[in-house]
Structure 1
Amino acid sequence: MHGRPRKPPTQEEQDASALKADKLRHLQSQILHFHHNKIFTKEGLEISAKLLEVNPEHYTAWNYRKLAVHHFTDKQSENAAEFESIQSILDEELRLVEAALRTNFKSYGAWHHRKWVLSKGHSSVDRELRLLGKFQKLDARNFHAWNYRRFVTALKKIPDAEELQYTTNMINDNFSNYSAWHNRSTLLSNLLEKGGKGYSEKESVFREEYDFVVQALFTDPDDQSGWFYHLWLLEQTSVLEPVLLSSWPSHGFKLCISANDNSSDQRSSPVSHFFSKTREFPFVLCFSEPVDGVSSSTVSIECDHLASSELTWTPLSANRYGFAQAWLTYLKFPDAAHTLEACPVKVTVAHLQGIISMSGTSCSQSSHLVFTVHIPSHDQNQAEEQTTDRISWKEENFSLYAAESHDADLLQSLCKLEMIRQKPNDVGWSMKVIADEIDRFRELLSLTECKIGNLTLARLLMANNSLMSLSCSHDRTDVHYEEILSLYDGLMKMDPSHICYYEDERSLVVLKQMTSSMVSLLKNSHQYQESTSSSLSSYACLRLNGLSLSRVGSMEQLLWVQMLDLSHNKIRSTEGLEALQLLSCLKLSHNKICSFTALETLRLLKSLKVLDISYNEIGAHSIDTRRYLFSSPLNHALGSDWSGGIESLDHWDAFFIFKGMSLIQLEIMGNAVVNDQLKAFLVKLMPALKWLDGESCN
């Protein structure tokens, strides 16, 4: 263990181990016989006791004893002279658990059985507390004992404030007691939720807790227990109720639905136009954190011309619990020959209670936004055949938006949160507490080089920025992005073993900084326009190439983006792009994408027509250790409707990603997986594909 060579067992040890194994096998066969035949006797209890004292992890033996206890206690009322009292039966169970715990203090089965016995209500709770005191002297950090203590104190109805003092004493004895810190967070959460005496003012409570944990951090900066508790405090301090951050279309926006993607109006101002032959467009809501409960009852949409008032809301890249930061629905106007002029759409988010975050906090602030929709009649704007010309990413096709141009003003209105809220966010006390912690950690880092101290300071600064962005009095010039980036740069040098994590966090900071002001955003915003013999394509483009990004995020202010250049970065997954429902062209060449499965979120982008994933690492690694890979189409959720046929099993991952996508242009050259067979498969899989690696598919 820990690099020390293991000595081979002696012959005596081998003989003893073989003898023990034979004994265990014999006991196991006996208890299985009793269990399967439902034979509940004292002999069966004695055999199960012998087995559990040697192997406390034998769950079948514990279950047999539970059934036996039920059998004996039921018989007790019928023939009290033949069987012992219920109390003595349960005491024997507690004795056995103690013996099993001496063999293995961390046995799940033994602790669970003891809870079961105690829940019967015939045993002394005070005795259990005394026994726990002895156990915790032997191992003060054993989380099984702490978990059992929470169970016992709940039965005895010991006040949380009293137990909080117990954790204080245990922590003062040993700052490195992670289980005590964890128990403290559980107790404090209960006290704050109840709002009892001394716990109604969050600011004073958290200031005391920060003072307490900082003593441990400054005493031993290398111990992680206190740092985890400090991180929990930071999360509790900066947590707010979820609010609506942005939408597309945004408040005050004037949207033109065009049936022709090459109309002259769209070429002059692509940001305000959306191409749709069916008069349907996506409506996206982005919240400050993942939420659930977005529905027609919680989001009210008023419009006289909508085809249907019953809308289905879909979470974009929801986690396994169904929570997502971005939610999508489609607004459709009925097909008509006449022009629809400036049709207002009024939206109220959190119209009723029901939108809730993963922490259980409800979105109580109603947000109101209004945008207008203009749809030219068919005779004014006849639909044309979709262009089949190849999109070129050459430099000469991109032009910066002028700072005072109409499009720049339009982008500013899209990126600025102007929706009407019922009340401002109350972040004052949180910002004060976090500002004090920032000063403390700057002082600590001036005295010692501490890896986790640098990381905590970066987290504090980002939390401060996030709170400022949600404050109505937010001044976007007073931020700490350069200091945060410097901290992550230092961490990558100080702790190279975790460089991927630091790169991901640094990437989010870069993106936050880029979207923090219109000045920085306009530096990366371009209009793509290319004249060809047959068409004139125009897109609102964001260029984020060559920024060393390894992760995509902070897209809430970029919902207007139609063309995105993320080439020459270190991106390993497209997760984070799902909210960009207008995205038509995406360039991901020269990144670190290792498999087609890393592109899974692109399936949510129905407008995507052009994709460049050339010169990545797809197929270069037999096993991708940097993200979850489903290994077979037969055991993954996406594989339930497998219809690719035997010939496509070699490219099943490409089948699941590209099936159903309407790509017109795809670049995949420079990846190890690319061959003629794959290219032929992709052309067959996507009938709309016109260009593959620069060559016509016709």
Structure 2
Amino acid sequence: MHGRPRKDPRPKDAAAKAAHLHDLQAQLLQNHRNRTYTKEALASCSKLLEINPEVYTPWNYRKLALQHNLDGVTDPDAVKSAIEDELRVVEIALRTNPKSYAAWYHRKWVLGRRLMPVEFEREFRLLDLLLKADQRNFHGWNYRRFVAKLKNVPDEEELKFTKKMIDTNFSNYSAWHNRSALLSHLLKKKSQGFDSKKNTLTEEYELVHDALFTDQSDQSGWFYHLWLLDQTVCLDDPQLISSWPTHKSDLILSKSNKIDGYQLFPSSNSSSFSLLHTGTFPIILYFNKAVKNIDSSTVSVSSLFVTNEDLNWRPLSTNNSGEACCWVTFLTVPEENCSSSTSYPVEVCLDRYKDIVSSNVSDCKNPSKFTFTVTFRSHSLEQTSKESVEENVVWNYVDICNPQESPCLMSFDQLSINGDHAGEGFKWNLQILSNEIELFREFNDEDSKFVKLTLARLLVAHDLMVPNGSHNHIKSHSGEVLTLYDDLMKLDPSHKRYYEDEQSMVLMDQLTSDKDSLIKHCWQFDEPTSSSFHRQYCLRLNDLSLTRIGSVKNILWVQMLDLSHNKLHSVEGLEALQLLACLNLSNNQISSFTALEPLKLLSSLRVLDVSFNMIGAHTIDTTRYLCSSPLSHTLDAKQLNVGYEKETTEVCDRWEVTLLFRALRLTQLDIKGNAVLNEKFSVLATELLPSLKWLDGKRVR
């Protein structure tokens, strides 16, 4: 540039350095193999690490050498000399690369062995030099936490240090992160001066405001504000927020040998269900966060026709973690009880609620209980012929149903078990949120995506915390939030997918938490050729541009669900709908069978429409490795062939289809309009689904 010749960035002696590095590596491997731990061997290893500290083998070699050379040594000076050598090698390596994982880990390993008193003054001096050169070196912050814990430095002192670093430079992700970790610990212990979460968070909001509005484009403060928002909204303890059957409801059962599954029928009583069943029905518990330890010892079910110890609770989750927001068990009614017209009371109680814990080890603080009655009656559809039951289901509708006639539109105050989240103890949460909303509305700059996104999150959080004992509560800010996400998609198109997902969850919550809104989407299913679902009610959430399903706590009663003509990529959340018999997912953006994994948990599902999606259109399925499969070594590939010896079935080549269809009991499947469909696939589907009667509108059995 400007007449000056450009210099070759490569050093002239690169070949010589490469040869030297090769010799050092060869010498190291030989010493490692021969277990040679002499001073000369360690010196050669030090030279290698000075050139390239990212190689793990020399660090492991030095660990073995230190253990070998100090074995049986009692002389304190000899021990100190060996430790000093190791620390010196680490410091030299850090000059080459201050962010070397292996170097920092080796230093922690050496000091953690406590072979000599730690010179904390030297360690903190090293950290000061490092953070002065790079204030956001997270390796240094991680090591500082290690040293502080080793010295038993009070969290309050470290909190002051983070404040000092933040005052020096607001744009310090690591300082904000360390501050959040320290505050979490102090609040959990309720240390002196931090026993009031309200006062602590109020002060932190004031601190972060200075950073946010000094430079709105810097993200470090926004991340901390998001953490504060989570602390403000998130209830510390898990709570039961919904169930099926609902509290004080009447479950009217009719036994049928002709209809497989559950059927919901109209009832004159708005709090009653009429259910045609095969001898069992589910009890569903829905919590506000994922919990574990749900079993017969923590949850008791009292009834005349079931023994609590015989019930098996299982989490409705596909990740095999043993934790889930939703849990289910099935009550089997003895044959002798089905012939009686007696009403049986059932009580479900979280007895040992303190043993029910969430992933953050918070236990359930409040006991929960709900009751319902079970009555056995005969039903007119008991006489339905076998042939009419098996007719093809066509998704046709008639007029919007009358809410007085629909069993699904029972009183919404029965849906929630612990609906009043915002009692006296949560008024300060609402006050903080209101103050933040007012502040961010003033700074709602059209060009700041961070302000708009934070305002949207605050409004959603406020609606979540508003007293909601009655589910007739209208989400007062939903319209404003939806508009904000529309603006964000235009302002920041690179993150459009994220904004669409967030908008979908807000819209889903808006539609299902308000009774009047839900009525508009509850239609009567009245296709004459579908006798098994004649006069049924279908929740139509189609053509809403939904990309995610979100919470379904208010629609656990749904048996027919139409989600067609949306933008869904997965069906996560539907696993909680244990009564779901018919599901329409046509004309979405589902690209693989592994995206349908949650459907494996729906034992009641009989009709599935996934036509006109994108299954098979993409050669790479990014969700395959998240499922139980031969790829994740959680399933033996040989098991897939059991019972399927025909060459045309292609069971091994399509293991994801095999695992999905084997778990389902479908009688009808529509899959036309997908790239995966061909003659061989049709044969495979018929083989894997022995109960299948209809495939793409054609009778197969």
Same structural fold, with TM-score higher than 0.5 when normalized by the shorter chain? yes
| Aligned counterpart for 2:481 among listed residues 479, 484, 509 | 484
Q: Distance in 2 between matches of 1:684 and 1:429?
A: 60
**What is the match of residue 358 of structure 2?**
357
**2: distance between equivalents of 1:305 and 1:253?**
18
Question: Are residues 1:302 and 2:302 paired?
Answer: yes
In the aligned structure 2, how far is the partner of 1:462 from the partner of 1:238? 10
Deviation at 1:483, TM superposition (A): 0.5
Task: Give the structure 1 partner of residue 397 of structure 2.
Answer: 395
2:672 counterpart letter in structure 1: M
- Residue 591 of structure 1 deviates from its aligned partner by 0.7
Flag the 1:519–1:696 CA change in 2: closer, same or farther, 3 A. Answer: same
Matches within 5 A, 1:18-417: 18-77=15-74, 85-119=78-112, 120=114, 121-240=116-235, 241-260=237-256, 267-269=265-267, 272-277=273-278, 279-306=279-306, 309-319=309-319, 321-336=321-336, 338-339=339-340, 341-349=342-350, 351-376=352-377, 385=386, 387-396=389-398, 399-403=399-403, 405-407=404-406, 410-413=409-412, 416-417=415-416
Answer whether contact 1:259 1:383 (CA < 8 A) is retained: no
Which residue of structure 2 lines up, in the alignment, with residue 656 of structure 1?
A: 659
User: Which amino acid in the other structure matches residue 434 of structure 1?
Assistant: L
The alpha-carbon deviation at position 454 of structure 1 amounts to 0.8
- C-alpha spacing 1:415/1:621, structure 2 compared with 1 (3 Å): farther
- Identical amino acids, percent of aligned pairs: 46
Q: Please, which of 684, 688, 691 is the counterpart of residue 685 of structure 1? A: 688
Listed one character per residue, the Cα deviations across residues 130-180 of structure 1 (whole Å, up to 9, x for unaligned) are 111111111111000001111111222222111111111111111111000
Moved more, 104-113 or 120-129: 120-129
Cα RMSD after superposing both structures = 3.0
Is contact 1:318–1:324 with CA below 8 Å preserved after alignment? Answer: no
Deviation, 1:325, is 0.9
Count matched residues.
681
Shift in CA distance, 98/378, structure 1 to aligned 2, threshold 3 Å: same
Aligned residue for 1:527, secondary structure, equals strand
Contact 1:491–1:502 under 8 Å retained in 2: yes
Q: Per the alignment, do residues 25 and 630 of structure 1 end up closer, same or farther by CA in structure 2, a change over 3 Å counting? A: farther
The 2-side partners of 1:545 and 1:231 are apart by 32
Partner in structure 1 of residue 432 of structure 2: 433
CA distance in 2, matches of 1:650, 1:547: 36
Residue 266 to residue 143, structure 1, CA distance change in 2 (3 Å)? closer
Instruction: Mark the CA change 1:534 to 1:212 in structure 2 (over 3 Å): closer, same or farther.
Output: closer
Cα 1:637–1:171 shift into 2, 3 Å: same
Contact 1:365 1:423 in 2 (8 A): no
Preserved CA contact (<8 Å) 2:419 2:469: no
Match of 2:617 among 608, 614, 620: 620
CA shift in 2, pair 1:414/1:586, >3 Å: farther
Contact 1:367-1:420 within 8 A present in 2 as well: no
Question: Following the alignment from structure 2 to structure 1, what is the Cα–Cα distance between the partners of residues 264 and 180?
Answer: 55
* Cα separation, 2, equivalents of 1:175 and 1:437: 20
Q: Which moved more, 1:474-483 or 1:206-215?
A: 474-483
**Partner of 2:685: helix, strand, or coil?**
helix
SS at match of 2:576: coil
Over 3 Å counting, the alpha-carbon distance change for 1:410 and 1:631 in structure 2 is: closer
Name the counterpart of 2:456: 458
Distance change (3 Å), C-alpha of 1:425 and 1:554: farther
Paired position in structure 1 for 2:442:
443
Does the 8 Å contact 2:265/2:273 carry over to 1? no
Cα offset, 1:401, TM superposition: 2.7
The letter of the residue matching 1:394 is: N
Deviations 1:63-103 (A, max 9, x none): 221222222223433xx5xx962111111111111000011
Amino acid at match of 2:28: I
**What amino acid is the match of 1:611?**
L
Contact 1:662/1:686 (<8 A) preserved: yes
Residue number among 479, 494, 519 corresponding to 1:497 in the alignment: 494
Q: Which deviations, in whole Å up to 9, do the C-alpha atoms of 1:264-301 show, x marking residues without a partner?
A: 99654498233332x21111111111112212121111
Structure 1 pair 516–425 and aligned structure 2 pair: CA distance change class (3 A): farther
- 1:9 positional shift: 10
Q: Which amino acid aligns with 1:152?
A: V
Q: Does the 8 A contact of 2:413 with 2:469 survive in 1?
A: no
Unmatched 5+ stretches in structure 2 = none
Q: Deviations over 1:654-696 (max 9, x none)?
A: 2221123111111111111111221122112212111111111
**SS of residue in 2 equivalent to 1:309:** helix
Answer whether contact 1:468 1:475 (CA < 8 A) is retained: no
> 1:18 Cα shift?
3.2
- TM-superposed CA distance for 1:426, in Å, is 3.1
SS at match of 2:309: coil
Residue aligned with 2:311, SS = coil
Shift, 1:596, TM fit: 1.4
3-state SS in 2 of match to 1:591: coil
TM-score w.r.t. length of structure 1: 0.91
Pair 1:422–1:188, CA change in 2 (3 A): closer
Instruction: After TM superposition, give the deviation of residue 109 of structure 1 in Å.
Output: 1.0
Instruction: Return the letter of the residue paired with 1:333.
Output: V
Structure 1 CA distance for aligned equivalents of residues 199 and 530 of structure 2? 70
Q: Deviations over 1:514-559 (max 9, x none)?
A: 1121100111112323334966634331000111101112201001
Name the aligned partner's letter for residue 339 of structure 1: S
Provide the rounded CA distance (Å) in 2 between the counterparts of 1:425 and 1:37: 71
Contact 1:350 1:364 in 2 (8 A): no
User: Which residue identity is paired with 1:168?
Assistant: K
Q: Check conservation: 1:308, 1:332, Cα contact below 8 A.
A: no
8 Å Cα contact 2:353/2:366 also seen in 1? no
Structure 1 residue 24: Cα displacement: 2.4
Whether the 8 Å contact between 1:267 and 1:537 is mirrored in structure 2 is no
What CA distance in whole angstroms lies between the structure 2 residues aligned with 1:425 and 1:649? 59
Q: What is residue 596 of structure 1 aligned with on the other side? A: 593
- What amino acid does structure 1 have at the position aligned with 2:393? I
Distance 1:424 1:473, change over 3 A: farther
Partners of 1:88 and 1:557 in 2: CA distance: 68
Aligned amino acid, residue 583 of structure 1: L
Alignment partners' CA distance in 1, 2:530 and 2:241: 42
Aligned counterparts of 1:209 and 1:145: Cα–Cα separation in 2: 24
Cα 1:474–1:373 change in 2 (3 A) is closer
Deviates more, 1:330-339 or 1:365-374: 330-339
Is the Cα–Cα contact under 8 Å of residues 689 and 697 in structure 1 kept in the other structure?
A: yes
How far does residue 653 in structure 1 lie from its aligned partner after superposition? 2.5
| Matches of 2:164 and 2:306, distance apart in 1 | 64
Contact 1:286 1:556 in 2 (8 A): yes
